[in-house]
């Protein structure tokens, strides 16, 4: 069975979604740069091996990236999933795992990359917001898109209420993206992702909220 390594920095809610849904994959390890990450205890409850590569123990990003890569390579994963991993990874690291490193971002990319995505959505008055699973490239939050989910932005939304509804969709599409990858149904074609046996019912864009 193909294996997955998950990288976290905090509570690991998307990690939990991957563990609960159980896509066709063995989770080889959960690795965190934060020794106090709450997600580490959650992973242990699921009998998943955990490891720590504390970024504060390294003089620079390059040294940290090298240590993290060494730890990841120990598990020989088929795919690496960033799940709330709050460290910027260097170009060398990203290119090392090109095509097998994915991330989930709380916006409909390419809109609102980086931090404060929900605040940016509210400040810009968008009517539709959401989340995106994408392949990681050296340009932050601009990699080829695998799957997205959309939610309405309500007139009385705050960043907290909007974030909560988006997070529900994150927990749905991240396991789906992992499943598609592990089934060999994703093909990178330049800046686009081709999905074999694509159907509009569950791929590309999920928007259950918009059909209520």
Q: What is the DSSP letter of 112?
A: S
d(C-alpha 98, C-alpha 183), whole Å: 18
118 is catalytic: no
The sign of the CA dihedral 190, 193, 197, 198 is: negative
Of 185, 148, 155, which Cα lies nearest the Cα of 169? 148
Please, which residues have CB within 8 angstroms of residue 159's CB and are 6 or more apart in sequence? 118, 119, 122
Are the beta carbons of 181 and 195 closer than 8 angstroms? Answer: no
Q: Which residue among the candidates 105, 118, 129, 171 is catalytic per the annotation?
A: 105
Measured CA angle at 168 (ends 104, 184), to 5 deg: 45
Residues with catalytic function: 105
């Amino acid at each position: 069975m193909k294996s997955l390594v998950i990288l976290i920095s905090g509570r690991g809610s998307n990690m939990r979604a991957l563990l609960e849904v159980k896509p066709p994959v063995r989770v080889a390890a959960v690795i965190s740069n934060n020794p106090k990450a709450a997600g580490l205890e959650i992973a242990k409850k699921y009998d998943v091996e955990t490891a720590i590569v504390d970024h504060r123990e390294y003089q620079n990003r390059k040294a940290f990236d090298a240590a993290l890569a060494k730890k990841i390579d120990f598990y020989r994963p088929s795919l690496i999933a960033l799940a709330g991993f709050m460290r910027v990874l260097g170009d060398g690291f990203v290119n090392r795992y090109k095509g097998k490193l994915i991330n989930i971002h709380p916006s409909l990319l390419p809109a609102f990359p980086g931090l404060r995505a929900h605040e940016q959505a509210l400040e810009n008055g968008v009517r539709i917001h959401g989340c995106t699973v994408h392949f990681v490239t050296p340009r932050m939050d601009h990699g080829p898109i695998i799957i997205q989910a959309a939610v309405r932005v309500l007139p009385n939304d705050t960043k907290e209420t909007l974030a909560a509804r988006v997070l529900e969709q994150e927990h749905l599409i991240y396991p789906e993206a992992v499943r598609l990858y592990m089934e060999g149904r994703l093909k990178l074609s330049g800046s686009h992702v081709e999905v074999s046996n694509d159907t509009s019912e569950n791929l590309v864009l999920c928007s259950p909220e918009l059909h209520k």
